[in-house]
Structure formats: C-alpha cells, structure tokens
C-alpha cells in the first residue's frame, strides 16, 4: 500500500490508539507517532460486582435471566468513540487530508460507525488488523508489504 507523505495513519484496538504521520515518500513510509492513547480496561469479570439479574414476567409467566453487561466491551466502544471525536476535531483543524485506519476488526466497525462525514471522506484505506503491539517502523513495513500482497 502506498502511503503518501503527510498521511495520518490511525492504528488502534479497543485499548490503544496510535496517531502516526508519514514523513517519508509514498513508496518509503517513515511513520512517527504524533500521539498515543491508552486506557486500562480489565476484563468484565474484574469490573462487574454482581451476578446477572432475572426478569420477572407478567403474572404466570416464567422468569428469565438477564444477560450480564459486558463492561469491557462498553469501555472499548467508548474508547473508539473518543478516538473518532479526536479525528473529527483534527479534520476541522485541517490537520490531515488522507487517513488510513488500521484496527482490530470489531474496533474498525465501531470506528466506522462513529466517524462523521468530515472524517469518513478522508479515509483512503481500512485494514482490519491489530497492529498496536508493533513499532511505527514495523507498521510502515507491514503496510508497505500489504501493497505487494495485493498485486
């Protein structure tokens, strides 16, 4: 994949987001981190304090269980919405013209639905992969490799 100079690359999952900028040419990406956001989000079993409740139906109806709230997923969705809000602000400040989004598949879907028109219009590529544990240099190499894999 070609990454034009000054393209903003968002790499994220539900717990970490890296805003990377390409300082290099399209064929030779040189990504550097402008901002890194992280949130502490323990599993639901460590966040919940009570067992799921039960629903008492109308007279004579059987009781049924209520599904436990997935606090972990809720926090991940809120984090993705916060990332989308930051991108919206950056778009209004004319901070980027092109955006490549690399995110875990579920997070990518959440981001996609949270993006406002001003951000969505600037998205040039979406890659459903979790690369948050990689360095910016490794991410640049992996994205460049995506180009050769597509040929």
Helices (H) and strands (E) in the chain — how many of each?
5, 7
Q: Look at residue 49 in the predicted model and tell me its pLDDT.
A: 56
How high is the mean pLDDT in each 10-residue block of the chain (151 residues)? Answer: 94 94 92 92 58 61 62 84 96 97 95 96 96 96 75 48
Q: Look at residue 35 in the predicted model and tell me its pLDDT.
A: 97
Structural domain boundaries of the chain?
8-38+70-150
Task: Kindly indicate whether the domain formed by 8-38+70-150 is annotated with CATH number 3.30.420.60.
Answer: yes
CA separation for the pair 79, 74 (Å, rounded): 9
Q: Is 104 exposed, middle or buried (0-12, 13-18, 19+ CB in 10 A)?
A: buried
Query: Do 10 and 19 meet the contact criterion of CB atoms below 8 Å apart?
Result: yes
Q: Is the pTM of this model over 0.75?
A: yes
Query: Do 94 and 119 meet the contact criterion of CB atoms below 8 Å apart?
Result: no
Q: Look at residue 14 in the predicted model and tell me its pLDDT.
A: 86
CA separation for the pair 25, 37 (Å, rounded): 26
């Amino acid at each position: 994949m070609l990454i034009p100079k000054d393209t903003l690359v968002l790499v994220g999952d539900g717990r970490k987001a890296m805003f990377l900028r390409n300082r290099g040419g399209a064929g030779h990406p040189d990504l550097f981190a402008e901002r890194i956001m992280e949130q502490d989000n323990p599993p639901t079993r460590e966040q919940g304090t009570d067992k799921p409740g039960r629903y008492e139906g109308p007279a004579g109806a059987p009781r049924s269980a209520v599904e436990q709230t997935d606090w972990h997923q809720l926090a991940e969705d809120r984090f993705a919405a916060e990332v989308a809000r930051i991108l919206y602000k950056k778009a209004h400040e004319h901070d980027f013209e092109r955006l490549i989004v690399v995110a875990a598949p579920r997070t990518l879907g959440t981001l996609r639905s949270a993006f406002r028109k001003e951000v969505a219009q600037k998205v040039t590529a979406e890659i459903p992969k979790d690369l948050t544990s990689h360095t910016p240099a490794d991410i640049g190499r992996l994205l460049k490799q995506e180009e050769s894999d597509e040929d």
